[in-house]
Structure 1
Amino acid sequence: MEKLVSIDLCADFGFLRKPDTNDGIAMSYNMLHKPAVIGIFGAILGLEGYQKRGVLPQYYQVLHDLKIGIEPIGAEKGNFPKTTIVYTNTVGYANKDGNFIAYENTLIKPGYRVYISLPSDHSLYDYLKSGESEYIPYLGKNEFPVWWHKDSFKEYDLKPFDFDREYVVKTLFSKKEGDVSRSQEVNMKSIGFGATLSKLIDSFFYFERLPIGFQEFNTKRGKEYQYELDSFVFSNAKFSNDYRLDNLYVIEGNEVVQLN
């Protein structure tokens, strides 16, 4: 039987590297994303990582179909504090033209509540519930270990939301381009917010394009993969029930999460 479970992932630091930034300072995604979560789960289960160029790792092949929702914990309106860490990359090939100084925009004390749809006989279910792991999972870099306490493990009935009322989405939610405007009141009304403009003044909207998986493409060196991105929103705004987001589920009676 399929269940919805959640755990709270926490770390002192995190660096979820954006692959499109490599000159000057390397930037991190602010939000945890699905491919990174799957990597964490792969470490927990002891599955193999990258072994061969052009071949997706075992953990991704086994776990990529999981339905996952992500809620930031302790973020200020969706944003985690950040610092720039500077270090010398001592790898030989990085220093053939002199010392290579790396600058990384690093998250401070990031935390995420991760919701997963799982059958109760799935091996991941037992690991998460017991707080055990085969390998030490990390948040983007192996010097940034990530952990969860078994007391954070929770179970819920997997119940689709039937849009019988106004709702707030606790997790990040995927949107279509043009669905949500940051500033235009007319667009705010058009997407079906169940709030007056005065209430919207107290609401926040955090936007980020995040990886949802991998796209395959061919190069002269063979098959390669790069992130496939989608637009996400994190908000405390209330939506009217005629604004129909996909893949919404109810937890604990009134709260709503999105699983993708």
Structure 2
Amino acid sequence: MEKLVSIDLYADFGFLRKPDTNDGIAMSYNMLHKPAVIGIFGAILGLEGYQKRGELPQYYQVLHDLKIGIEPIGAEKGNFPKTTIVYTNTVGYANRDGNFIAYENTLIKPCYRVYISLPSDHSLYDYLKSGKSEYIPYLGKNEFPVWWYKDSFKEYDLKPFGFDREFQVKSLFRKHEGDISQKNQAKSGTFSLISELSAINDAFFYFERLPIGFHEFKTKRGKEYQYEMASFVFSNAKFASDYKLENLYSINSSEVVQLN
């Protein structure tokens, strides 16, 4: 039987590298994303990582179909504090023309509640519930181990949301291009907030484009893979029932999560 479960992932530091930044300071995604979560789960299960150029790792091939939702915990309006870590890269090829100094924009004490749709006989279900892991998972770099406490494991009925009431999305959710903007917030339509929102002084919307998987392309050296991206929103706003987001599931009387 399929269940909705969640765990809280913690780390002292995190560096979820953006591949499009390589000159000067290397930047990190602020939000945990699905390919990174799949990597963490692969380490927990002891699945193999990257072994061969042009071939996706075993953990991704086995787990990429999991439906996952991600909620930042303790972030200030969606943002985790960050610092710049500076170090000398001592790898030989990086120092042919002198010492290579690396600058990395690093997350401080990131924490995420990860929701997963799982059958109770899935091996990952047992590992998460018992707090076991075959390998030490990490948040972007192996010097940033990530952990979870057994008592953070929670189970919910896997119940699709029926859009029969106003709702708040506890997790990140996929943004329909163009539907959340200053223009559209000012009029009724596919995107509408309930009237009580105007009384909430600290209402916010956090936006970030995040990886959702990989797409394949061919080069002279063979197959390569790049991130497939999508736009996400994190907000404390409440939405009217006519805002039809996809893949929503109820976790209590007024809150839902999106699983992708």
Establish whether TM, by shorter chain, passes 0.5: yes
Which deviates further from its counterpart, 198-207 or 165-174? Answer: 198-207
Percent identity of paired positions between Structure 1 and Structure 2: 83
CA shift for structure 1 position 199: 3.0
Superposition map of 1:72-151 within 5 A: 72-151=72-151
Contact 1:180 1:187 in 2 (8 A): no
**Residue aligning to 1:25:** 25
**Residue aligning to 2:205:** 205
Residues in 2 aligned to 1:146 and 1:163: alpha-carbon distance in whole angstroms: 35
Residues in 2 aligned to 1:241 and 1:126: alpha-carbon distance in whole angstroms: 36
CA shift for structure 1 position 202: 3.1
Question: What runs of 5+ residues in structure 2 fail to find an aligned partner?
Answer: none
Relative to structure 1, the CA distance from residue 187 to residue 86 in structure 2 (aligned partners, 3 Å threshold; closer, same or farther) is: same
Task: Give secondary structure in 1 for the equivalent of 2:43.
Answer: helix
Contact 1:180 1:188 in 2 (8 A): no
The amino acid of 1:236's aligned partner reads N
Residues in 2 aligned to 1:39 and 1:91: alpha-carbon distance in whole angstroms: 24
Contact 1:167 1:239 in 2 (8 A): yes
**Residue aligning to 1:71:** 71
Residue by residue over 1:194-248, the C-alpha shift from the partner in whole angstroms, topping out at 9 and shown as x without a partner, is: 1356236531000000000001000011000000000000000110000000000
**Residue aligning to 1:170:** 170
Alignment length, in residue pairs? 259
Relative to structure 1, the CA distance from residue 217 to residue 15 in structure 2 (aligned partners, 3 Å threshold; closer, same or farther) is: same
The amino acid of 1:178's aligned partner reads G
Relative to structure 1, the CA distance from residue 188 to residue 231 in structure 2 (aligned partners, 3 Å threshold; closer, same or farther) is: farther
**Residue aligning to 2:50:** 50
Question: What runs of 5+ residues in structure 1 fail to find an aligned partner?
Answer: none
Residues in 2 aligned to 1:162 and 1:91: alpha-carbon distance in whole angstroms: 54
Relative to structure 1, the CA distance from residue 48 to residue 187 in structure 2 (aligned partners, 3 Å threshold; closer, same or farther) is: farther
Residues in 2 aligned to 1:64 and 1:15: alpha-carbon distance in whole angstroms: 21
**Residue aligning to 2:156:** 156
Task: Give secondary structure in 2 for the equivalent of 1:68.
Answer: strand
The amino acid of 2:129's aligned partner reads K
Contact 2:169 2:235 in 1 (8 A): yes
Residue by residue over 1:56-79, the C-alpha shift from the partner in whole angstroms, topping out at 9 and shown as x without a partner, is: 000000000000000000000000
After TM superposition, the score normalised by the length of structure 2 is: 0.97
Contact 2:131 2:149 in 1 (8 A): yes
Contact 2:2 2:119 in 1 (8 A): yes
- RMSD of Structure 2 on Structure 1 (CA): 1.2
Residues in 1 aligned to 2:103 and 2:246: alpha-carbon distance in whole angstroms: 38
Residues in 2 aligned to 1:60 and 1:79: alpha-carbon distance in whole angstroms: 27
**Residue aligning to 1:218:** 218
After TM superposition, the score normalised by the length of structure 1 is: 0.97
CA shift for structure 1 position 93: 0.2
Contact 1:175 1:233 in 2 (8 A): yes
The amino acid of 1:80's aligned partner reads F
Relative to structure 1, the CA distance from residue 196 to residue 151 in structure 2 (aligned partners, 3 Å threshold; closer, same or farther) is: closer
Task: Give secondary structure in 2 for the equivalent of 1:142.
Answer: coil
Superposition map of 1:34-49 within 5 A: 34-49=34-49
Task: Give secondary structure in 2 for the equivalent of 1:17.
Answer: coil
Residues in 1 aligned to 2:137 and 2:183: alpha-carbon distance in whole angstroms: 42
**Residue aligning to 1:239:** 239
